[in-house]
Amino acid sequence: MKAARADFWSGLALGGLGAYIIVTASRWEYLGADGPGPGFFPLWYGIAMAGLSLALVFFSLKNPNSDLIDWSGARRAFGAWAALALSVALLKIAGFAVSFAVLTFFIVAVMYRRPYWVAATVAIAAAAGFYVVFALALGVKLP
C-alpha cells in the first residue's frame, strides 16, 4: 500500500476528539458553588488536545515528507485483529475454549502458513491447556 500521511490524519482525528470533548464538557457545570465542577478539567484538556492536534496537522503540512509510514504489513495486522475481534464475539456463544482454538488455528495456519495439521494440534492443545490450568486447577472463571 502506498504511504500515507500519518501525522496529518491522526492530527485531524485527535482534533475531532478534542472538539467532542470541548462540546460535551461545556454542557456540564464549569464552576460550582463548592468548587470546580465536572466540566472544568475536561474543558481544559479538550482545548489543549484540539490546539496540539492543530499544531500537528500544521507541522505535517509544512514537512510533507517527514511522516511517511510503511503500510505494507498492515493488512496482515488488521486481519489478525479482525480474527481477535471475531473470537471475542464468539466468546459469549461458544465459550473460551472453542473461540480460542478458532483464533489460534487462524493465526497459525493463515498468518504463519504452517501446515493445517500443525495449526489444529496447536489450537487444540493450547485451548485444552488453558482450560485445564485455569478453569480446573485454579478455579478462575473463563468466559
List residues binding another protein (CB under 8 A). Answer: 6-7, 10, 14, 17-18, 21, 24, 28-29, 31-38, 40-42, 45-46, 48-49, 52-53, 55-56, 59, 67, 69, 72-74, 76-77, 79-81, 84-85, 88, 91-92, 96, 100, 103-104, 107-108, 111-114, 122-123, 126-127, 130, 134, 138, 140-143
Q: How far is the CB of 139 from another protein (least distance, A)?
A: 8
Which residue number, 2 or 113, has a Cβ lying nearer to another protein?
Answer: 113
Q: What phi and psi values does residue 140 have, to the nearest 5 degrees?
A: -80, 135
Q: How far is the CB of 17 from another protein (least distance, A)?
A: 7
Which residue number, 34 or 136, has a Cβ lying nearer to another protein?
Answer: 34
Q: How far is the CB of 61 from another protein (least distance, A)?
A: 14
Residue 19 CA, distance from chain mean position: 21
Q: How far is the CB of 126 from another protein (least distance, A)?
A: 6
